[in-house]
């Protein structure tokens, strides 16, 4: 006889929400059996490779590909001239601009795609690239956006109107030929008045340098045109496979049902794989022309130099407060360097993303934000590197401004934050820059964090260290970095969020099999987040079948329901909600079936973990497994056979995860070397689906934050040469540089999300960057430093110490 | 091309003979010619370690070794470390301790770790961090990778003691 399990045992057996379920993805990855795009090898497949510009700004006088074509094994060399008859020499960007697929008469950044070589293998393709002769005429280079706005060098002649006039851009009027847009939010006059009348105003210019998401796997695709059936299959590193399908259809004219986009396993994305790149277009064209599959995979230099930079925001802020430290107003102006084409990945109505979350965690009654986008001779991109649209920039800005204000007020920065936090009872909170924060309990999180690190003890130790330093007893300073961030993720409500007109809902479709297992398909795509594990947990709890009996499938547009993909921490807030809602539809039908089988009215049964029981008589029940079988195999009057559901979820609001971080850092004044002694991260992502995976996300996001704050940068010289184009120069931390992190949490569920979850993948990056940077800045506060820019590599820290006269 | 030469490799215990250009990189030989796609290409400059294999008893980054340099070598990739019926202790430990996310660095990471534990069966945390510094992971922040390797070391040592 089977012993009847307790309710608790039945719950545990499901492996549902809240448990540390081991990942189902890991079996294949640990055995080297992942299937990434470069692992795909199709019969007859050719290899594509780009001829790229060595110049940042030049006219192309001629391209001679005859020597390349003469090489054995070279099939084609495509140039803009070949693509022009198809209208594919330019393509639309996600930001309403257009971008050259292959250089059309000129180049605008170093590494720009000039010609596409198609050859029998990658070695022949590489040889052929060297043989293509391009005659360039160099043009003046603009790498500084402020200089670009003053210059009479026009980068984009294609955007000039008749007689050199300036037609409006995708986001309104333009002030200069190198200007892209001005985006304003909030009340300008009111904010200026508040600043004029304030007791105290702190001003600072904060540059958030250009960097790159640099996933370990670069971008690539395999395009395969089946000329017999007229079907195009496109495998690729796509964070948004459905959006890619629609875009490919719109620009190629191939009907959408004849395009199948497949994202196989993706080796990290972090925003790099959201956009559409020239390599995809050229591969598709090459496959159509040759009738065989064409693969293109960028190398690391191409990745760092051309696809998807992040940040590059010059932010000037003014923050005002009363003498007691109550913040009264915030003014922010951003000069945003977008490179040669505006290819930022932001929802259409938000040309600077959600930068207007820059009032942060604070109750700031009056605020104004203006962003000017500018063209320069740098690579296009502006993607959200492990953050929702421009949210890292916003969080960094406000968390630096609060620190500067604390210096101005001669106040403790933790206390200044505490007296300005939005209070728990103020939620839902309407921010001065237009957002409705759904929920939060900042004071509880803050107090828990400060207590966990013994904040007062740290400050006492730091004061002693300063004394010792002044007395010549030590050459190491100590910084205490603080951050309380609020994110805005889960884009988003279709009423105000779309990309290229595609509404930002997401979806889940579930099929229950007769024997009580299931498959669920989603519009998202995992790049390491563990969706196959966590979405099955949501479903296990919702439908009462074990997570181990539920397959999760993503990334094949022929089978998955339409969705906008995975970035901006939107998978759990949007597709996770769709999953729960689809699960509830399954449950609603199961309830009717159970009632019929138990011979009671629908309202007389209730769901209990893995079954429906008769109310008041729990010994009378039907398990979900039994119900699944009956759904397919028993004729039930009035109910059609089968047990399936689909949900398209349009979120009513964004979600607003938050967190409180503390970093304790020692800095060697003579070498600039930093030592992270301690890093404490408290995250509140609402309902927690899998604590093991959350912790892993936090470790990873903090490490990417460490990289950005302490050294990682895409730097250019005055000629527009990329100075950090390989991993020799572009900082990716190793196990040796990275500390152990302490993780903690509070739980404030989202009131509008079906399971209360808010998303967590990007929080540690958003909160981590200002926290590391604040620690560096804080170490020098006692010596008069207000602000120094990232990245805080050893040289820059040494320079800061030197400028402050600390080297004697 | 006419400049192909004859090469012989032992890969995961199997002898392989083929004609190739001497300039062919070992990573391409393994991935494209011999279809051992576990080792990956992340940087082409020896920095990231995604292509790590064991060659003649040493950890090697296969993206910067010519096949000509590897002629006659004995090579083990992730595919040779364990199989579905009998995983390597490290493969189990990475699963158990959430030592991977996107999985792209994992084959190189585990292959390197297996060599590290041969070189030093009882490493400290610091020694693991130093010994793994040639392998970059963008997802995990290394904390759980280090944990996985230390756990595997303990388990391997316990098994050794039990056997003695």
The residue ranges of every structural domain in chain A are 7-34+506-649, 37-141+218-266+274-306, 398-489+654-803
Same fold, A7-34+506-649 and A398-489+654-803: yes
| Distance from C-alpha of A472 to C-alpha of A571, rounded to nearest angstrom | 53
Q: Residues A145, A340: contact at Cβ < 8 Å?
A: no
Q: What's the confidence (pLDDT) of residue A548?
A: 98
| Distance from C-alpha of A582 to C-alpha of A586, rounded to nearest angstrom | 6
Over 70: is that where the pLDDT of A515 sits? yes
Rounded to 5 degrees, φ, ψ at B163 are: -75, -20
Nearest CA-CA distance, residue A45 and chain B, Å: 12
**Across A689-697, average pLDDT:** 98
| Distance from C-alpha of B4 to C-alpha of B20, rounded to nearest angstrom | 5
Name the residue in chain B with its Cα closest to that of A730.
B47
Q: Residues A439, A525: contact at Cβ < 8 Å?
A: no
**What is the distance of C-alpha A262 from the center of its chain?**
20
Q: Where residue A1 falls among pLDDT bands split at 50, 70, 90?
A: very low
Tokens of A424: 């728990």
Tokens 């009348």 locate to A197
| Distance from C-alpha of B86 to C-alpha of B81, rounded to nearest angstrom | 9
DSSP A571: I
Q: Where residue A23 falls among pLDDT bands split at 50, 70, 90?
A: very high
Q: Residues A214, A732: contact at Cβ < 8 Å?
A: yes
| Distance from C-alpha of A505 to C-alpha of A97, rounded to nearest angstrom | 23
Over 70: is that where the pLDDT of B2 sits? no
Q: Residues A504, A497: contact at Cβ < 8 Å?
A: yes
Q: Supply the DSSP string of A401-441, one letter for each residue.
A: HHHHHHHHHT--HHHHHHHHBPPGGG-SEE-TTS-EE----
**Across A573-597, average pLDDT:** 97
Most A CBs within 10 A among B34, B141, B148, hence the mutation to make, goes to: B141
| Distance from C-alpha of A12 to C-alpha of A152, rounded to nearest angstrom | 68
Determine whether A646 is exposed, middle or buried from the number of CB atoms within 10 Å of its CB (0-12, 13-18, 19+).
middle
Q: Where residue B81 falls among pLDDT bands split at 50, 70, 90?
A: very high
Q: What's the confidence (pLDDT) of residue A211?
A: 98
Q: How do A231-236 and A259-262 pair as beta strands? A: parallel
- For chain A, say whether B74 makes contact (Cβ under 8 Å): no
With b meaning 16 or more CB within 10 Å and e meaning fewer, what string describes A551-567? ebebbbbeebbbbbbbb
| Distance from C-alpha of A544 to C-alpha of A606, rounded to nearest angstrom | 12
**Across A454-459, average pLDDT:** 98
Known catalytic membership, residue A25:
no
Q: Which residues of A touch B87 (CB under 8 A)?
A: 30-31
Q: Dihedral sign for Cα A538, A543, A549, A551, please.
A: negative
Q: Under an 8 A CB cutoff, do A728 and B47 touch?
A: yes
Q: Residues A427, A748: contact at Cβ < 8 Å?
A: no
Q: Residues A370, A333: contact at Cβ < 8 Å?
A: yes
Tokens of A349: 């109505």
- Which one of 3.20.20.210, 3.30.365.10, 3.30.930.10, 3.40.50.2020 gives the CATH number of domain A7-34+506-649? 3.30.365.10
Q: Identify the CA nearest to A579 among candidates A639, A527, A531.
A: A531
Size of interface A-B (CB pairs under 8 A): 174
Q: pLDDT exceeding 70 applies to what percent of chain A?
A: 100
Q: Under an 8 A CB cutoff, do B98 and A696 touch?
A: yes
Tokens of A452: 């966990």
CA angle A352, A262, A233 (to 5 degrees): 115
Q: Which residues pair with A304 in a beta bridge?
A: none
| Model pLDDT for residues A719-737, shown as the tens digit of each residue | 999 999 999 999 999 999 9
Tokens of A725: 């184009």
| Model pLDDT for residues A39-81, shown as the tens digit of each residue | 999 999 999 999 999 999 999 999 999 999 999 999 999 999 9
Q: What is the phi-psi region of residue A419: left when phi exceeds 0, alpha when psi lies from -120 to 50, beta otherwise?
A: alpha
Strands of B14-20's sheet in order across: B14-20, B5-11, B74-76, B52-55, B58-61
Preceding omega of A242 cis (within 30 degrees of 0)? no
Helices (H), A178-333: 188-197, 241-252, 278-290, 300-306
Preceding omega of A330 cis (within 30 degrees of 0)? no
In angstroms, the Cα distances linking A604 to A90, A543, A607 are 63, 18, 10
The helix/strand/coil state of A643 is coil
- For chain B, say whether A395 makes contact (Cβ under 8 Å): no
Q: Identify the CA nearest to A316 among candidates A340, A344, A336.
A: A336
**Across A560-589, average pLDDT:** 95
- Which one of 3.30.365.10, 1.10.760.10, 3.40.50.2000, 3.40.50.800 gives the CATH number of domain A398-489+654-803? 3.30.365.10
| Distance from C-alpha of A34 to C-alpha of A11, rounded to nearest angstrom | 32
Q: Under an 8 A CB cutoff, do A26 and B100 touch?
A: yes
- The residues, ordered by sequence, that sit 6+ positions from B16 with a Cβ below 8 Å of its Cβ are B8, B9, B10, B34
Name the residue in chain A with its Cα closest to that of B33.
A41
| Model pLDDT for residues A630-678, shown as the tens digit of each residue | 999 999 999 999 999 999 999 999 999 999 999 999 999 999 999 999 9
Q: Where residue A299 falls among pLDDT bands split at 50, 70, 90?
A: very high
Determine whether B19 is exposed, middle or buried from the number of CB atoms within 10 Å of its CB (0-12, 13-18, 19+).
exposed
Q: Supply the DSSP string of A128-180, one letter for each residue.
A: HHHH-EEEEEE------HHHHHH-S--S-GGG--GGG----BTTB--SSTTEE
Residues in chain A: 808
| Distance from C-alpha of A697 to C-alpha of A767, rounded to nearest angstrom | 13
The H or E element spanning position A13 is helix A7-14
**Across A457-479, average pLDDT:** 98
Nearest CA-CA distance, residue B24 and chain A, Å: 8
Over 80: is that where the pLDDT of A3 sits? no
Q: Where residue A2 falls among pLDDT bands split at 50, 70, 90?
A: low
Percent helix / strand / coil, chain A, rounded to 5:
30, 25, 40
| Distance from C-alpha of A731 to C-alpha of A790, rounded to nearest angstrom | 13
Tokens of A751: 């009131």
Over 60: is that where the pLDDT of A381 sits? yes
| Distance from C-alpha of A218 to C-alpha of A272, rounded to nearest angstrom | 9
Q: Where residue A557 falls among pLDDT bands split at 50, 70, 90?
A: very high
Tokens 């229950």 locate to A512
- Return mean pLDDT, chain A: 97
Preceding omega of A797 cis (within 30 degrees of 0)? no
Tokens 């796609």 locate to B37
- For chain A, say whether B27 makes contact (Cβ under 8 Å): no
| Distance from C-alpha of B72 to C-alpha of A198, rounded to nearest angstrom | 78
Over 60: is that where the pLDDT of A132 sits? yes
Q: Identify the CA nearest to A578 among candidates A506, A521, A526, A495.
A: A506
Instruction: Determine the straight-line distance between the first and last CA of chain A, rounded to whole angstroms.
Output: 83
- For chain B, say whether A529 makes contact (Cβ under 8 Å): yes
Ordered structural domains, chain B, with CATH: 5-80 (3.10.20.30), 89-163 (1.10.150.120)
Known catalytic membership, residue A28:
no
Instruction: Return residues 302-341 of A near B (CB < 8 Å).
Output: none
CA angle A456, A748, A758 (to 5 degrees): 115
Preceding omega of A791 cis (within 30 degrees of 0)? yes
In angstroms, the Cα distances linking A144 to A94, A178, A269 are 23, 11, 28
**What is the distance of C-alpha A158 from the center of its chain?**
31
Over 90: is that where the pLDDT of A499 sits? no
Q: Where residue A280 falls among pLDDT bands split at 50, 70, 90?
A: very high
Name the residue in chain A with its Cα closest to that of B80.
A31
Q: Under an 8 A CB cutoff, do B145 and A735 touch?
A: yes
| ipTM over the 0.90 cut-off | yes
Q: What's the confidence (pLDDT) of residue B156?
A: 97
- The residues, ordered by sequence, that sit 6+ positions from A23 with a Cβ below 8 Å of its Cβ are A530, A532, A533, A693, B95, B98
Q: Dihedral sign for Cα A308, A314, A318, A319, please.
A: positive
- Which one of 3.30.470.20, 3.90.1170.50, 3.30.1490.190, 3.40.1390.10 gives the CATH number of domain A37-141+218-266+274-306? 3.90.1170.50
The torsion defined by the Cα of A83, A88, A93 and A96, in degrees rounded to 10, comes to 130
Q: Under an 8 A CB cutoff, do B133 and A736 touch?
A: yes
- For chain A, say whether B97 makes contact (Cβ under 8 Å): no
| Distance from C-alpha of A359 to C-alpha of A430, rounded to nearest angstrom | 11
Over 70: is that where the pLDDT of A605 sits? yes
- The residues, ordered by sequence, that sit 6+ positions from A564 with a Cβ below 8 Å of its Cβ are A240, A242, A243, A499, A502, A503, A504, A505, A506, A523, A570, A574
| Distance from C-alpha of A180 to C-alpha of A141, rounded to nearest angstrom | 18
Q: Identify the CA nearest to A355 among candidates A332, A378, A377.
A: A332
Known catalytic membership, residue A386:
yes
Q: Residues B58, B80: contact at Cβ < 8 Å?
A: no
């Amino acid at each position: 006889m089977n012993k009847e399990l307790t309710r608790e045992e039945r719950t545990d057996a499901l492996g549902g929400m809240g448990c540390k379920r081991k990942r189902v993805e890991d079996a294949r990855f640990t055995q080297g059996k992942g299937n990434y795009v470069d692992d795909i090898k199709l019969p007859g497949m050719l290899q594509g490779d780009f001829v790229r510009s060595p110049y940042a700004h030049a006219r192309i006088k001629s391209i001679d590909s005859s020597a390349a074509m003469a090489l054995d094994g070279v099939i084609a060399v495509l140039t803009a001239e070949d693509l022009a008859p198809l209208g594919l020499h330019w393509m639309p960007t996600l930001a309403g601009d257009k971008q050259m697929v292959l250089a059309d008469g000129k180049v605008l950044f170093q590494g720009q795609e000039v010609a596409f070589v198609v050859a029998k293998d990658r070695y022949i393709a590489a040889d052929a690239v060297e043989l293509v002769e391009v005659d360039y005429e160099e043009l003046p280079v603009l790498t500084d956006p402020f200089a670009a706005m003053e210059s009479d060098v026009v980068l984009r002649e294609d955007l000039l109107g008749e007689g050199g006039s300036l037609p409006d851009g995708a986001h309104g009027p333009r002030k200069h030929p190198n200007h892209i847009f001005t985006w304003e939010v909030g009340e300008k006059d009111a904010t200026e008045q508040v600043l004029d009348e304030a007791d105290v105003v702190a001003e600072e210019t904060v540059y958030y340098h250009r960097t790159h998401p640099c996933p370990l796997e670069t971008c690539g695709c395999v395009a395969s045109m089946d000329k017999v059936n007229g079907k195009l299959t496109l495998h690729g590193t796509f964070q948004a496979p459905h959006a890619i399908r629609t875009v490919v259809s719109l620009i190629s004219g191939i009907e959408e049902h004849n395009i199948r986009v497949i994202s196989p396993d993706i080796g990290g994305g972090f925003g790099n794989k959201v956009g559409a790149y020239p390599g995809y277009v050229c591969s598709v064209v090459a496959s159509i022309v040759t009738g065989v599959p064409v693969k293109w995979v960028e190398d690391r230099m191409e990745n760092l130099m051309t696809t998807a930079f992040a940040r590059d925001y010059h932010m000037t802020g003014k923050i005002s407060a009363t003498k007691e430290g109550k913040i009264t107003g915030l003014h922010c102006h951003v000069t945003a360097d977008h490179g040669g084409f505006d290819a930022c990945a932001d929802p259409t109505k938000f040309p600077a993303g959600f930068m207007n979350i820059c009032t942060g965690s604070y109750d700031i009654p009056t605020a104004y934000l203006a962003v000017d986008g500018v063209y320069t001779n740098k690579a296009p991109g502006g993607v959200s590197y492990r953050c929702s649209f421009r949210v890292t920039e916003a969080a960094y800005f406000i968390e630096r401004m609060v620190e500067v204000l604390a210096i101005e007020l001669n106040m403790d920065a933790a206390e200044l934050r505490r007296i300005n936090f939005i209070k728990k009872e103020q939620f839902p909170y309407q921010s001065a820059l237009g957002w409705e924060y759904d929920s939060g309990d900042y004071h509880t999180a803050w107090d828990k964090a400060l207590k966990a690190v013994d904040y007062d003890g740290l400050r006492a130790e730091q004061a002693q260290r300063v004394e010792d330093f002044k007395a010549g007893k030590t050459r190491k300073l100590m910084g205490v970095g603080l951050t309380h961030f609020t994110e805005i993720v889960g884009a988003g409500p279709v009423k105000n969020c779309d990309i290229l007109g595609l509404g930002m809902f997401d979806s889940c479709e579930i099929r229950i099999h007769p024997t009580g297992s299931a498959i669920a398909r989603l519009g998202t795509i995992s790049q390491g987040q563990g969706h196959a594990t966590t979405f099955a947990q949501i479903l296990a709890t919702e439908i009462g079948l074990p997570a181990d009996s539920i397959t999760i499938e993503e990334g094949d547009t022929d089978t998955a329901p339409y969705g906008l993909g995975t970035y901006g921490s939107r998978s759990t807030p949007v597709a996770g909600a769709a999953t729960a809602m689809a699960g509830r539809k399954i449950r609603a039908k199961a309830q009717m079936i159970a009632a019929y089988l138990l011979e009671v009215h629908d309202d007389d049964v209730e769901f209990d973990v893995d079954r429906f029981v008769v109310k008041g008589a729990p010994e009378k029940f039907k398990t979900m497994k039994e119900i699944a079988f009956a759904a397919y195999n028993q004729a039930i009057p009035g109910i059609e056979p089968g047990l399936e559901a689909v949900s398209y979820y349009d979120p009513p609001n964004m979600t607003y995860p938050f967190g409180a971080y503390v970093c304790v850092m020692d800095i060697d004044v003579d070498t600039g070397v930093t030592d992270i002694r301690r890093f404490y991260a408290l995250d509140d992502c609402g309902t927690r689906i899998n604590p093991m995976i959350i912790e892993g996300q936090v470790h990873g996001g903090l490490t990417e934050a460490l990289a950005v704050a302490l050294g990682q940068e895409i730097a250019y010289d005055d000629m527009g040469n990329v100075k950090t184009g390989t991993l020799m120069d572009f900082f990716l931390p190793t196990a040796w540089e990275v500390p152990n992190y302490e993780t903690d949490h509070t739980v404030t569920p989202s009131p509008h999300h079906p399971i209360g979850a808010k998303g967590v993948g990007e929080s540690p990056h958003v909160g981590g960057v200002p926290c590391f940077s604040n620690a560096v800045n804080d170490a020098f506060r006692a010596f008069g430093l207000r602000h120094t820019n990232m990245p805080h590599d050893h040289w820059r820290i040494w320079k800061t110490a030197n400028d402050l006269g600390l080297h004697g | 091309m006419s400049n192909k030469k004859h090469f012989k490799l032992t890969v995961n215990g199997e002898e392989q003979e083929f004609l190739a250009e001497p300039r062919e990189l070992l990573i391409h030989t393994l991935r494209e010619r011999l279809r051992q796609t576990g080792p990956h290409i992340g940087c082409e400059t020896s920095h990231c370690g995604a292509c790590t294999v064991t060659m003649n008893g040493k950890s090697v980054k296969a993206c910067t070794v010519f096949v000509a340099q590897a002629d006659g070598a004995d090579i083990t990739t992730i595919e040779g470390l364990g199989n579905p019926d009998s995983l390597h202790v490290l493969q189990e430990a990475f699963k158990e301790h959430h030592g991977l996310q996107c999985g792209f660095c994992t084959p190189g990471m585990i292959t390197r770790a297996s060599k590290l534990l041969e070189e030093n069966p009882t490493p400290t945390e610091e020694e693991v961090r130093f010994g793994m510094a040639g392998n970059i992971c963008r997802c995990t922040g290394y904390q759980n990778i280090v944990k996985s390797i230390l756990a595997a070391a303990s388990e391997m040592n316990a098994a050794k003691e039990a056997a003695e």
